Amino acid sequence: MNEERPCAIVTGASGGIGGACVRELSATHLVLAVGRNREALEALSAETGCRVHPLDLADVDDLADVADAVGRVDVLVHAAAVAQALGVADASAEDWRRHLDTDVVAPALLTRALLPMLRAASGTVVFIGSGASTRPVPGSAVYTAAKHALKGVADVLRIDEEPSRVRVVTVSPGQTDTPMLRASVAAGGGTYEPDRYIRAESIAQTVRFAVDAPPDVHLTDIAARPRVEIARI
């Protein structure tokens, strides 16, 4: 990639928050959009000029290919996730593996592959967490556990990479108007009320805020909640 501008890699780019992050960061960065849906990625490329890298993050053996596609990394945004409403009583071993592989293992391994470039750039890693990691809702044990584990990964990575001046930020959105949330509400038999949810673009602007923080500041945990809380548990 052309190294005249800083480079950002965004996973989950064919989803709601990931796509919004690509649009936001493309104004100032060369962006490599990583996602499963090739058609959605190509539409995003036509809109923003980003480069695309179709990839299912569950295919961990292919994660090193992302590092080979870029010459530098200033920003890494982990927005890819699997989210299915499953409690302990209903979740199979495969359900647990699928969530943990996509939501925890893949971000950790991709970060490892890109760490040399992130260190060289004193870059920023942004993990898109979830309010569910600290404010769980009934029937969400699998997703809550995965996002809770992801926060643990981020918290230790932040300590470990402090000597390299790599910044590690967890942005934890509440209910956000995305296809993932729509599917979750439909699966639970609820009523979708988009006016009550956070816009994906607002989360992308929050990521921008973290990325553009002054060099003497290390933002660590940002909770982004709906303006009027939907539920307090």
Any idea which residues carry the catalytic annotation? 143
Query: Does the pTM of the predicted model rise above 0.75?
Result: yes
Helical ranges in the chain per DSSP H: 16-25, 38-48, 64-68, 93-100, 106-120, 141-160, 179-187, 200-211
CA 100 to chain centre: 14
Measuring CA to CA, how many Å separate 98 from each of 53, 64, 128, 147, 184?
A: 21, 20, 18, 13, 16
Going residue by residue through the chain (233 aa), what tens digit of pLDDT does each one get?
545 799 999 999 999 999 999 999 999 999 999 999 999 999 999 999 999 999 988 888 888 889 888 889 999 999 999 888 889 999 999 999 999 999 999 999 999 999 999 999 999 999 999 988 787 778 889 999 999 999 999 999 999 999 999 999 999 998 877 776 666 665 666 677 777 789 999 999 999 999 999 999 999 999 999 888 776 54
Task: State both tokens at 159.
Answer: 């300590």
CA distance 161 to 172: 21
| Residue 188, pLDDT score | 62
Q: 76 near 125, Cβ under 8 Å?
A: yes
CA distance 34 to 46: 15
Measuring CA to CA, how many Å separate 51 from each of 37, 41, 168?
A: 14, 9, 24
The domains of the chain, with CATH numbers, are 7-223 (3.40.50.720)
| Residue 227, pLDDT score | 86
| Residue 185, pLDDT score | 64
DSSP secondary structure, 33-73, as one string: EEES-HHHHHHHHHHH--EEEE--TT-GGGTHHHHHT-S--
